[in-house]
Amino acid sequence: MTSTVPALGTRMAEGSALQAVLLDMDGTLVDTEGFWWDVEVEVFAALGHRLDDSWRHVVVGGPMTRSAGFLIEATGAAVSLAEVTTLLNEGFEARIDGALPLMPGAARLLAELSGQHIPTALVSASHRRIIDRVLTSLGPQHFALSVAGDEVSRTKPHPDPYLLAAAGLGADPTRCAVIEDTVTGVAAAEAAGCRVVAIPSVAPIPPAFRRTVVPTLEDVDLPFLRGLMTEMR
């Protein structure tokens, strides 16, 4: 894994049960969920197939292998999973050249977390090559480490990426706040035992135990996240 892992003794949030904040990338911090769908439409159009808009809810937030595999099966395209994965990554990279549109509130929240020395990780189902490109827009200094979908044997909706991030920060997963925008990501975070803040991007996400749903990242700040942990006591 090529993530940057902090030295032992990472500073935790003093005077708070909140030990770390783990953030999804696409649709949560950067406004790119639409980019992925546009690229998928273009790639399969070039292969002679038209994607149904209803499939967008199926592929959003998932690992590349699941999304691409579903689209190959749904369209019957004569192409391998490896070939489609390469085409999708290349198409997405072409779309994110230059500065990326951040979600409202993202820059402010990241600055607040780093300014208060809250251990923070970026946890995405996207591949490392994509994450490293996006980090230039987000600011790599805001993250102690990042976990990519191609660096774990099981990515979202499995808990592995969030468990790996928590371990890398020396944090108890149950004392980590996760911010996600898709059902797939929420499932991964909850399976890891984390406290989840859901900000739905494409498909609705209902409130549930240990899950708080808010309309925008602008509603989230450090006191809000610490308050979620206080509610658990």
pLDDT in tens, 51-64: 998 888 777 766 77
Flag whether the pTM goes above 0.95.
no
Of 224, 216, 220, 200, give the one whose Cα is nearest residue 103. 216
CB distance 66 to 78 below 8 Å: no
User: What does the CA dihedral 19, 23, 28, 33 come to, rounded to 10 degrees?
Assistant: -160
Q: Which residues face 20 on adjacent strands?
A: 176
Q: Is the confidence at residue 1, as pLDDT, over 50?
A: no
Cα–Cα dist 110/77, whole Å: 41
Residue range 82-128, pLDDT digits in tens: 999 899 888 888 887 766 889 999 999 999 999 999 999 999 998 89
User: Residue 99: its pLDDT value, please?
Assistant: 63
Residue range 156-192, pLDDT digits in tens: 999 999 999 999 999 999 999 999 999 999 999 999 9
User: Residue 64: its pLDDT value, please?
Assistant: 77
Of 99, 110, 132, 60, give the one whose Cα is nearest residue 217. 110
The SS3 assignment for 6 reads coil
Cα–Cα dist 120/4, whole Å: 12
Cα–Cα dist 128/133, whole Å: 9
